Amino acid sequence: MSVPNDRSVPGEAPTDPPSSVRRRILDVLLGVSFFTWLGSVVYPVVRYLLPPEGPALEQRTIRVGEVKDFKKNSGTLFRMGAKPGILICTPSGELRAFLAVCTHLQCTVQYKPDEGVIWCACHNGRYNLQGINISGPPPRPLTPLQVKLKGNEVYVSLA
């Protein structure tokens, strides 16, 4: 601790006018420099309080949309954390979701409505609508996600 101790020798107080003026100036300087420094505290706090743009929170459960947004025999890509997900509405109107990451070389897969399969454009890998690899190079099925309905809203979460 390098805090100075007062040498409390009585009668040392310098009270002559020039030093009192100097003290006042230094007091003002102290105030000014303190408030300047305070800026470097207030600035981060104000920036912190302003929320950033874009999706606020990486979530385990994502609202993908409303039921009416998904037509029969269609697929919709959405962001599931750091990976893309795909929500399939089967020809019979059932909703299923998977991570849209091909198990072969991690390309993003898509829905092929004419064939009714999930298809990877990179190497023609195919998955059936249960996400099971049926042809082409994919070695494993797609990772399934959970689809939950809350009223009209469709939520998808990591299983």
Find the binding residues for other proteins in span 93-132 (CB under 8 A).
101, 104-108, 121-124
How far is CA 81 from its chain centroid? 7
Separation CA 26–CA 117 (nearest Å): 78
CA distances from 61 to 8, 73, 77, 79, 155 (A): 67, 24, 15, 11, 6
Say whether residue 152 binds other proteins (CB under 8 A).
Answer: no
Structure tokens at 7: 């040498």
CB of 94 to other proteins, least distance (A): 25
Count of chain residues binding other proteins (CB under 8 A)? 60
| 85 belongs to the binding site for other proteins (CB under 8 A) | no
Does position 146 interact with other proteins (CB under 8 A)? The reply is: no
- Min dist CB 87 to other proteins, Å, is 18
Task: Say how many residues make up the chain.
Answer: 159
Stretch of 7-15, 68-76, 89-97, 147-155 lying at the interface with other proteins (CB under 8 A): 7-15
Q: Whose structure tokens read 């040392």?
A: 12
The secondary structure of the chain in percent helix, strand, coil, rounded to multiples of 5, reads 25, 35, 45
- 51, 114, 115, 150: which one contacts other proteins (CB under 8 A)? 51
Half-sphere exposure of 102 (CA within 13 A, CB side): 23
Give the binding site for other proteins (CB under 8 A): 1, 3-10, 12-14, 23-24, 26-30, 33-34, 36-37, 39-41, 44-45, 47-52, 54, 56-61, 79, 82-84, 101, 104-108, 121-124, 133, 136-139
